[in-house]
Structure 1
Amino acid sequence: MAIEDRRQRERTARRRLITATARTLAESEGWDAVTTRRLSAAIEYSQPVLYKHFGSMEDIVEAVAVEGFGELAETLRAARLGSATPADELGRVAAAFSGFAAENPALYDAMFTRPTHLRFGAEDTPAPLAQAFGELREAVATIPAARDIDTLTEVLWAALHGLVMLGRDDRLRPGHNADRIKVLLAQFRTAES
């Protein structure tokens, strides 16, 4: 039994090494630079070892994305719980979402723009995805008289994503992100539910 436990720990450690290395390469050089050849050289394992843990590069990106959603959930939870009042939660969470995207562009791409098989709202949705959405939902739930919280959360999620991507691609005026978030949240707080 001890040998099997050790082998499982080694497999888990190699898997973490692969995803951490992929993320590091992506953050420094972009996802196009992340290839099985580059990964195997960086971690000093053969390409077949990579394929033993992941069936494809898309599977590696997906694993990085799942880790990212776990980190996003923690970031949003900290922002929400650090709010002085319930009315402050939504603004802090929206700013935390935007900040997370700005600080982790390649990770954010893995989570939101690269092709994966990850799905929200499905029976097999990985827990970190549901937790990240749940943290945003908790903040949206502070809006008085909000009736369809799930739909409102999806719309806010999409609007924040749009602001992130447009800002990152220099399609919006620089230096006005906080102002845009304030305008967006004002609309959410005053909209008929």
Structure 2
Amino acid sequence: MKATDKKAEQNAALKNEIIAQSWAIIEESGWQALSIRRIAEAIEYSVPMIYKHFENKEAILEHFIKTGFQALAERLASVLNPSAPATEQVQELAKAYWTFAASQTKHYEIMYGLGMPSCEAVNNVAEIKQMSNVMMQAIQAVGEEAGNGTIDHYLKVKTFWSMLHGFMAIELFSHNQIQEAPTATFRDAIDSFIFTLINKK
């Protein structure tokens, strides 16, 4: 192996170790407890070595935000069934969103640690835009199936997304966790949202 290849391999291994130990800290103490010094102590390297791979703590959190949204987008896309009624697909999307947040709560908290992503973030971060596009696809399908050509799709995606996250935030604020199955209130809210898509609201 060439010296340059070996060096690149060592750098990649160290970067992966930084990510792994960062995640271990997050799982143990929450994302707010993450610090460059704590990571350095965990991997037994100097602080400057961390900075060679990540500019700051926020860059590490950005990594987890992107991987989280990518995983969520893939989860949502996996439940879309073009042969099923469009309204059923929206219901399945909502359920998949809930179960993702319930099973990946630490990751979900990082993804939304600073609030809802801005419109600029949605447009500039590919992983967030991918998730938004899955929602858009399902909402457009409901409008087409219902013959509702007056839907403001961007508005409805923002409404749908805000509603989903709102329920997750309430669960976390009230119980510090998200129960495994969607609540009756959540299901009722999704049904009401679908009603507005069908009935030209």
- TM-score, normalised via structure 2 length: 0.79
Instruction: Spell out, residue by residue over 1:25-70, the C-alpha distance to the aligned partner (whole angstroms, 9 max, x if none).
Output: 2123212332222212323332111111112111211111111111
Shift of 1:8: 4.1
Counterpart Cα distance in 2 of 1:175 and 1:17: 31
Tell me the equivalent position of 2:141. Answer: 142
> How many pairs align?
190
Counterpart Cα distance in 1 of 2:44 and 2:123: 33
2:191 to 183, 186, 193: 186
CA contact (8 A) 1:90 1:142 kept: no
Give matches, 1:62-141, under 5 Å. 62-81=62-81, 84-114=84-114, 119-121=118-120, 125-141=124-140
Tell me the equivalent position of 1:159. Answer: 163
Shift of 1:16: 3.2
CA contact (8 A) 1:54 1:60 kept: yes
Counterpart Cα distance in 1 of 2:182 and 2:115: 27
Tell me the equivalent position of 1:57. Answer: 57
Counterpart Cα distance in 2 of 1:121 and 1:189: 27
Shift of 1:115: 7.6
Structure 1 residues 137 and 19, CA gap change in structure 2 (3 angstroms): farther
Counterpart Cα distance in 2 of 1:175 and 1:10: 40
Tell me the equivalent position of 2:173. Answer: 169
In the alignment, structure 1 segments of 5+ residues that lack a partner are: none
Counterpart Cα distance in 1 of 2:5 and 2:81: 37
Aligned residue type for 2:183:
A
Structure showing greater Rg: 2
Tell me the equivalent position of 1:38. Answer: 38
CA contact (8 A) 1:95 1:178 kept: no
Identity %: 25
Structure 1 residues 98 and 84, CA gap change in structure 2 (3 angstroms): same
Shift of 1:99: 1.4
CA contact (8 A) 2:99 2:180 kept: no
Instruction: Spell out, residue by residue over 1:112-169, the C-alpha distance to the aligned partner (whole angstroms, 9 max, x if none).
Output: 12389x7544696121111111112222223222621121011110111110010122
In the alignment, structure 2 segments of 5+ residues that lack a partner are: none
**Secondary structure of 1:141 counterpart:** helix
Give matches, 1:1-16, under 5 Å. 3-4=3-4, 6-16=6-16
What RMSD over aligned residues (CA atoms) do the two structures have, in Å? 3.0
* More off after superposition, 135-144 vs 118-127: 118-127
Counterpart Cα distance in 1 of 2:33 and 2:159: 33
Structure 1 residues 8 and 152, CA gap change in structure 2 (3 angstroms): farther
